[in-house]
């Protein structure tokens, strides 16, 4: 009984691994290509962050020789990185906005 249970568990584990790789190769690859084709990713510099009830980040980036500056809400992890001296942020936006 114990040995057959281990065999079933092993086959279920192998099936889950195969399912994960199938998903990653088909749907995951398609989704990544779609994101790359429809979005622009640039590196920006954090100018200032304010925390209170919510955390706001004031950042700037350059795209097509123009300077853009925005203030948006931010997760706590970005604020902690900012406090530790990391001033860079990745910004992704749809190509239609560019």
Question: Is 84 part of any domain?
Answer: yes
pTM, whole model, 2 decimals? Answer: 0.57
Question: Is 71 part of any domain?
Answer: yes
Q: How many domains does the chain have?
A: 1
Extended beta strands in the chain, E state: 39-51, 55-63, 66-73, 88-94
* Structural domain range at position 73: 39-97
How far lies 47's CA from each of 36, 60, 72, 78, 93, in Å? 27, 7, 12, 13, 19
Question: Is 74 part of any domain?
Answer: yes
Per-residue pLDDT at 24: 78
Question: Is 62 part of any domain?
Answer: yes
Query: What are the φ and ψ backbone dihedral angles of 55, each rounded to 5 degrees?
Result: -110, 125
Question: Is 32 part of any domain?
Answer: no
- How would you write the pLDDT of the chain (98 residues) with one tens digit per residue? 556 667 888 888 899 998 888 887 777 777 777 777 788 889 999 999 988 888 999 999 998 889 999 999 988 888 888 889 999 998 888 887 55
> Residue 78: which CATH number?
2.40.50
């Amino acid at each position: 009984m114990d040995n057959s249970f281990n065999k079933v568990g092993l086959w279920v584990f192998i099936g889950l691994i195969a399912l994960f790789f199938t998903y990653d190769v088909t749907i995951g690859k398609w989704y990544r290509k779609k994101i790359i084709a429809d979005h622009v990713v640039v590196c920006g510099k954090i100018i200032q962050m304010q925390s209170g009830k919510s955390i706001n980040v004031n950042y700037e980036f350059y795209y097509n020789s123009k300077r853009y500056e925005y203030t948006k809400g931010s997760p706590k992890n970005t604020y902690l990185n900012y406090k530790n001296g990391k001033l860079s942020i990745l910004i992704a936006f749809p190509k239609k906005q560019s």
